[in-house]
């Protein structure tokens, strides 16, 4: 009996740790000034023709979902949030979240979900289309862990899943946003992957001198960036990786201001959580094919020569907002964010 009680207590303590982590002022700052602003913009593009379709790796209290609901971006009915789909690997947490969010979910790892979706295993893709849930307008991928973990190959399961996700959206010729939350903790990451990401950035610096100047002006030289500001390196390297994927699948990628804030692990090691917001706009070729247009360059060349270099400049120019610093500068903001979280919890 005592063993059962200890196991129950440990589960409840873990849940409370998760709740506190997702209620944190830093986390809600990103929701308010990052995710919410981007979601409003994406919702505006729909021009009220239909409801925004939202995919999320939410936590127990679904604060991100309720934030969007409060802002009028998604709706709610007696069963939950009909245009929202969540993914959670922990079965017990899935059941608890479903009582709040509804029955649109996948219980299992995100990477497994994307793999099943990609292969249409058990008609998963067909079913989501029939429910008018897929393709999604926003993917909020709040991993909080590493995107290039040290115990996986350089091309990690997460990077493969992100590539497949872009491919899936491309097949629908569908615009969408991707919110990414990763841990920037170098000693836990794959060094070979880090070197490959560094090489991608270096290649762009060599090919586009203006990009190199932007990187050094807004951040630092690449070697210094990697050795002294790993959090900013990740905030640049992952969008840089995805810009190449976007190009290959006929997307124009744009980036909004990124965010970072500190966390401390069980061993007292301080690291950063990095939040990235990306928009993918599909490039349609609507040019006339009359005789006068036959010599126009292929749309893939236009993407390669115009949109892709611009996305690199935007990424290297991008500002990474230090949330801890912002909250320190405005003490009243911390209290305001905490109050907003309480209001959203009550919904």
Residue 220 burial by Cβ neighbours in a 10 Å radius (0-12, 13-18, 19+): middle
| Interior angle at CA 105, CA 165 and CA 184, nearest 5 | 55
> Is it the case that residue 78 has pLDDT exceeding 70?
yes
Calculated CA dihedral for residues 331, 333, 335, 341, nearest 10 degrees: -150
> Is it the case that residue 292 has pLDDT exceeding 50?
no
Q: How far apart are CA 99 and CA 165, in angstroms?
A: 27
Q: Which two tokens stand for residue 249?
A: 């699948």
> Is it the case that residue 72 has pLDDT exceeding 50?
yes
Question: Between 331-345 and 63-70, two packed helices, what is the crossing angle to 10 degrees?
Answer: 90
Confidence grade of residue 109 (pLDDT, cut at 50, 70, 90): very high
Across residues 71-75, what is the average pLDDT?
A: 97
Mean pLDDT of the chain: 92
Above pLDDT 90, what percent of the chain? 80
> Is it the case that residue 317 has pLDDT exceeding 90?
yes
**In the block, residue with structure tokens 């569908």:** 174
> Is it the case that residue 125 has pLDDT exceeding 50?
yes
What is residue 126's predicted lDDT score, i.e. its pLDDT? 97
Q: Enumerate the β-bridge partners of residue 275.
A: 181, 259
Q: Enumerate the β-bridge partners of residue 255.
A: 278
Alpha helices of the chain — where are they, by DSSP H? Answer: 2-23, 25-30, 36-45, 63-70, 91-101, 110-119, 124-130, 157-171, 191-207, 209-218, 222-228, 230-248, 299-302, 308-317, 323-329, 331-345
> Is it the case that residue 4 has pLDDT exceeding 70?
no
Confidence grade of residue 295 (pLDDT, cut at 50, 70, 90): low
What is residue 10's predicted lDDT score, i.e. its pLDDT? 66
Give residues with Cβ within 8 angstroms of 214, minimum separation 6.
Answer: 313, 316, 317
> Is it the case that residue 291 has pLDDT exceeding 50?
no
Across residues 275-282, what is the average pLDDT?
A: 98
- The Cα-based distances of 71 to 46, 137, 197, 344 in angstroms read 15, 16, 37, 11
Q: How far apart are CA 174 and CA 22, in angstroms?
A: 30
What is residue 287's predicted lDDT score, i.e. its pLDDT? 64
What is residue 265's predicted lDDT score, i.e. its pLDDT? 87
Residue pLDDT, tens place only, 148-198: 999 999 999 999 999 999 999 999 999 999 999 999 999 999 999 999 999
> Is it the case that residue 64 has pLDDT exceeding 60?
yes
What is residue 213's predicted lDDT score, i.e. its pLDDT? 94
**In the block, residue with structure tokens 């990740």:** 234
What is residue 144's predicted lDDT score, i.e. its pLDDT? 78
Across residues 291-305, what is the average pLDDT?
A: 73
**Is the Cα torsion angle 62, 180, 316, 303 positive or negative in sign?**
negative
Show the beta-strand stretches assigned E in the chain. Answer: 54-56, 84-88, 105-107, 138-142, 176-184, 251-255, 258-264, 270-282, 320-322
**Given 3-state DSSP classes, what are the helix, strand and coil percentages for the chain, each rounded to the nearest 5?**
55, 15, 25
**In the block, residue with structure tokens 């999604």:** 136
pTM across the whole model? 0.94
- Report the residue count for the chain: 347
Q: How far apart are CA 192 and CA 4, in angstroms?
A: 43
Residue with more model confidence, 201 or 14 = 201
Above pLDDT 70, what percent of the chain? 94
Contact 255, 274 (CB under 8 A): no
> Is it the case that residue 293 has pLDDT exceeding 60?
no
What is residue 224's predicted lDDT score, i.e. its pLDDT? 94
């Amino acid at each position: 009996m005592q063993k059962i009680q200890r196991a129950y207590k440990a589960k409840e303590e873990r849940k409370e740790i998760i709740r506190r982590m997702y209620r944190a002022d830093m986390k809600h700052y990103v929701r308010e000034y990052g995710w919410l602003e981007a979601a409003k913009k994406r919702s505006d593009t729909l021009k009220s023709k239909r409801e925004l379709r939202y995919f999320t790796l939410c936590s127990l209290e679904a604060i991100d979902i309720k934030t969007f609901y409060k802002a009028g971006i998604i709706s709610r009915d007696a069963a939950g949030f009909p245009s929202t789909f969540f993914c959670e690997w922990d079965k017990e947490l899935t059941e608890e979240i479903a009582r709040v969010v509804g029955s649109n979910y996948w219980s299992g790892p995100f990477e497994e979900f994307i793999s099943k979706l990609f292969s249409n295993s058990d008609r998963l893709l067909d079913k989501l289309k029939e429910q008018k849930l897929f393709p999604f307008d926003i993917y909020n991928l709040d991993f909080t862990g590493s995107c290039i973990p040290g115990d996986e190959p350089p091309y990690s399961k997460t990077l493969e899943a992100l590539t497949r996700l872009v491919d899936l959206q491309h097949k629908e010729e569908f615009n969408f946003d991707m919110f990414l939350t990763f841990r920037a903790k170098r000693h836990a990451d794959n060094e070979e992957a880090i070197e490959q990401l560094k090489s991608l950035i270096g290649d762009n610096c060599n090919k586009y001198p203006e990009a190199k100047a932007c990187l050094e002006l807004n951040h630092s030289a690449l070697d210094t960036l990697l050795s002294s500001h790993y959090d900013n390196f990740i905030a640049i390297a992952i969008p840089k990786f995805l810009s190449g994927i976007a190009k290959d699948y006929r997307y124009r990628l744009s980036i909004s201001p990124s965010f970072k804030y500190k966390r401390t692990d069980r061993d007292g090691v301080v690291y950063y959580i990095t939040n990235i917001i990306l928009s993918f706009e599909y490039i349609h070729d609507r040019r006339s094919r009359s005789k006068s247009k036959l010599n126009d360059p292929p749309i893939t060349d236009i993407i390669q020569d115009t949109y892709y270099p611009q996305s690199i400049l935007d990424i290297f120019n991008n500002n990474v907002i230090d949330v801890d610093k912002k909250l320190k500068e405005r003490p009243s903001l911390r209290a305001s964010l905490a109050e907003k979280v309480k209001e959203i919890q009550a919904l």
